[in-house]
Amino acid sequence: MELKKMYLANFNVTFGSKEEPLLTWLDELVIPAMNSGYKREVSEKLSYLFQNVQVAEYNNELVLEGIIIKDKTVDIYNQLDEKSSLIDTDQHLNTAPYSAFMIFLKNHRMVLVKRQSESPDLRSFSATLINSIKEYRREQNKIRKENGETLLPYMICGIKGIKSEANIEEALKDVKRVRKLTMKILPQNNEVGGLYGIIDGLQNEVRKRSQSKALRVVVTSPESKKGVEDIIKSTEDLVEISLDVEYEDEDLNFDGSKRKRMGKIKDSDISQTMDIQVPDDLKENKQEIYNSCTKIDSLHVETTNIIDYQKYVEKHKL
């Protein structure tokens, strides 16, 4: 058993102008796109792709599982020899660090487990998903258009880390004051709630009525740091958070004078991560990953998606 880093997130994606939820397009679009072999090319020597994406069942629960691979060429021009002397070399090694992921289809909560430090993170996962869906949809819609078939919808991706109270409190511990709080609201994947229903109101009365894909709520110069902390905790992982802050301590200028130390706290800075004990070969030990998730309360919240999930389960029993 090895100690691995696990990231928790809300797999929030919707499809088309009707903002249909994940399960509507999981079989017809999402899984085929992720298994299509499309690579997200970052550079000539770096790309990302998904493999082995499938619906699996653990303890009578359906999940979407797979791996995301970072395909990278490492150039080595210098090494230390056996005498610790620096020598020249010319090697080009291919590496493929990967992460395993698991998405709980009943509520769209997900985990991503990195096999090593160089393995893909949540940001790489989101970017690669967007690319895979875009490329697959483009190719398939050419064929569908020629055949007079219904076209595949576009995807709106709003995957966000699950925030922990401990991380929120730690991030704000040394903050003197919050200069600005920004909350980005995207279409929700069969979820309601957050800020005691205020987010639902903003979704229905502002974002949807204006036919906008996203909505940003900006709170400037809030006086209460504790109030900001409470707001973030109450959003129930349904918004993306960004904070512009001023810290208690100060920076020094070149002349020795002091100046205020400013900073930005991003959504990923307050998202929940943990270390888990699992076998080193993650792709062959998904059951161990599932077992590590069973007692994490934030992964098992109930959402309105349960109705669509039950229909999906019944469909796959046929």
pLDDT-wise least confident of 216-230, 234-248, 282-296: 234-248
Same domain, 234 and 169: yes
Same domain, 55 and 106: yes
* Res. 248: pLDDT tops 90: no
Tell me the whole-structure pTM to 2 decimals: 0.85
Same domain, 99 and 183: no
Tens digit of pLDDT for each residue in 187-222? 777 665 555 456 666 766 677 777 777 788 899 999
Same domain, 149 and 282: yes
Same domain, 252 and 215: yes
Q: Which residue range forms the structural domain that includes residue 102?
A: 2-159+272-315
Same domain, 145 and 291: yes
Q: Which one has a higher pLDDT value, 253 or 225?
A: 225
Same domain, 106 and 8: yes
Same domain, 172 and 92: no
pLDDT, residue 199, reads 67
Provide the number of structural domains found in the chain. Answer: 2
**pLDDT band per the 50, 70, 90 thresholds, residue 304:** confident
Q: Which one has a higher pLDDT value, 111 or 87?
A: 111
CB hemisphere CA count around 42 (13 angstroms): 14
Q: Which one has a higher pLDDT value, 191 or 25?
A: 25
**pLDDT band per the 50, 70, 90 thresholds, residue 41:** very high
Query: How far, in Å, CA of 171 to CA of 38, rounded?
Result: 37
Same domain, 115 and 202: no
Same domain, 12 and 84: yes
Mean pLDDT, to the nearest integer, of 112-139? 97
Query: How far, in Å, CA of 246 to CA of 172, rounded?
Result: 10
Query: How far, in Å, CA of 159 to CA of 126, rounded?
Result: 7
Same domain, 202 and 311: no
Using alpha carbons, select from 99, 105, 145 the residue that is nearest to residue 125: 99
The amino acid at residue 45 is K
**pLDDT band per the 50, 70, 90 thresholds, residue 260:** confident
pLDDT, residue 212, reads 76
Same domain, 139 and 202: no
